[in-house]
Homo-oligomer: A and B are copies of this chain.
Amino acid sequence: MLSTTPRTTLGREKQRGSTDRNDLYDVLDTGLVCHLGVVVNGCPMVVPTGYGRIGDTLYLHGSTGASSLRAADGAEVCVTVTHLDGVVLARSVFHHSVNYRSAIVYGRARLVTDPDERLAGLRALSEQLAPGQWDYVRPPNRKELAATAVLALSLEEASVKMRRGGPKDDEEDYALPIWAGVLPLVTSWGEPEPDSVLPEGIETPVHILHRE
């Protein structure tokens, strides 16, 4: 079950909310980038960044010099992941909408200092972005690890919202001679583009070639 704190309880369109923790995992695990919200000098700052999940903990990382990471350390943050699945075309402007799945996580970010947890978090981050690469490429060395800050965020306080299906129009508008439906938005992987200086004879690994 998901939390029911004031800020994770939907005030509007409650039918779009989910209380199933598995829906939260689904939204998070199928995403590539989150939007991290922090407060800097009293003002909101929203930056796109990668993330990874292990159980009920979300991991974020960045250069130890990144201002968004510095602002997040020990502070209240908000992490939002959004999948846009289509545009809902109704018979009236007002009822236009989008089909989507989104998750919002609230909590206090914790700077990870334990070496094992740091490495596990970085691995989760790497595998979220590029599954199979952690074991395939050169692992991080001591200098690289020292330059990287890892933050942890509990998934305790989170909400999930989604919309799917066709338009919901006003009763009297269904008689209008207007096309209505959904224009799906499809996200897919293109053909891998080899680095221009890649030596001949290095084949594209299966985990890249056949990424789902």
Contacts and interface: CB of A to CB of B under 8 A. Distances in A.
Interface string A140-163: 110010001000000000000000
Interface string A163-185: 00011000001101111111111
Interface string A53-75: 00000000001011100000000
Contacts of A50: 98
Interface in A66-121: 66-67, 76-80, 82, 84, 86-87, 89-94, 96, 98, 100, 102, 104, 106
Contacts of A77: 44
A189 B87 CA distance: 10
B46 A133 contact: no
A188 interface: yes
A1 interface: no
- Decide if the interface of chain A is mainly helix, strand, loop or mixed: mixed
B197 A174 contact: yes
B82 A12 contact: no
A37 B40 contact: no
Contacts of A195: 166-167, 180-182
B193 A181 contact: yes
Given A38-B44, A87-B130, 16 more contacts: A42-B76, A43-B78, A89-B208, A92-B137, A93-B134, A93-B139, A94-B140, A136-B178, A166-B195, A167-B195, A179-B198, A180-B198, A184-B193, A185-B187, A186-B188, A186-B190
